[in-house]
Structure 1
Amino acid sequence: MADSSAVKARYWTFLVYPESAPEDWLGALKRSHGSYAVSPLHQPDDETSKPHHHVIYQHGNTTTLNGAKAAIPEDVPANGYVEPVANPSNMQRYLIHLDDPEKEQFADGANSITLVNGFPLDLTRELSKSEKARIRLDLMSIIRENVVTEYSDFIFGLMDMGDPDMLDYACSHTILFEGVIRSVRNRAKVVQ
């Protein structure tokens, strides 16, 4: 088993129990000049017996556990326990239980998360292969059914639809969709 102090990560997480944390623990995070995302107060559940905040710390680059602990105000993490984050996107979503409807839900959504010193919050979810295939098929259908001949019309139409997953997929697969749209445009010229 690898030495846990040798593990390197850019994102680290820890719990804060308000009852035992320093009174100005949030101010201590701000004064540390590190970037943090702090969950709203989570009530006790099966995993913890006290109200708590989940905190994600983003280091400037990858660092060891000792490096992360040196950067985080030492009396803030509950019991001094800090651990690496394997999937930063999923951990950020966990701050407000986006993917766990059985747990407490927060009416203010992302606005419930306190961002400290410019933490780059990203609550997007990684799509599964089947979801990507479905979106690709839907986008191809939009192009075919609407005889889309300009990429800008395609993107603006997706913006009007308001589906961020479709828009993101189309924008990150520009070559594919530009090629399909060019083919539709060229076919229309031949038919005329």
Structure 2
Amino acid sequence: MLLAIDTSAGTSAAVISNGVRSISVFDDPFGHAENVGLAIQAALAEASVDMSEITAVVLGRGPAPYTGLRVGMAAGLGISGALGIPAYGVMVLDAVAHSLGDGKFVLSSDAKRRELFVAAYQAGERVFGPSVLGPQELEQFADYQSITARCDAGLLGVYAEHALSKGIDLSDTSALYLRSPDVSPSPGKKVSA
């Protein structure tokens, strides 16, 4: 039984066992830290599952803005470490693409700074990305169906079940930021003698 956690957009958690057993979603784009524990608790309660029954944790790796993404990843890796169970990482655009089937489409999500996180798919395979592009750069995908992507823990978990059954490696649990954070450390104050 999988516990999937995603904070790439809002905050969501889902219990997955042969599909979605339960899901809890908070759409607040800024309340990841406040909502991640509530989402996990609600998903477990709705599925009538105790944390001890979870056999693996699925993490949304992004791409997504820095702060929100690291909240969900830290929660998932903390649970994985505390319970001594595996953690699996899923690129969120792959999870959305899996839910859409085998078409020819380009997925994009808001990367802030007037940019987009983008990946393109054909026949169920990723053929481009993930990358950060400006909206004008999507013209290179004029012959693809353009879809605005939004992931949640249910999509992550369903994709993870599929991927694991096919032997796809999900061992990478590092974050996909694709660019530096909006904030950087101060160079420090100069002190004169």
Query: TM-score, normalization: structure 1?
Result: 0.26
Q: Which has the higher strand share?
A: 2
Q: Computing the radius of gyration over CA atoms, which structure comes out larger, 1 or 2?
A: 1
By relative contact order (CA 8 Å, sep 6+), the higher-ranking structure is: 2
Q: Which has the higher helix share?
A: 1
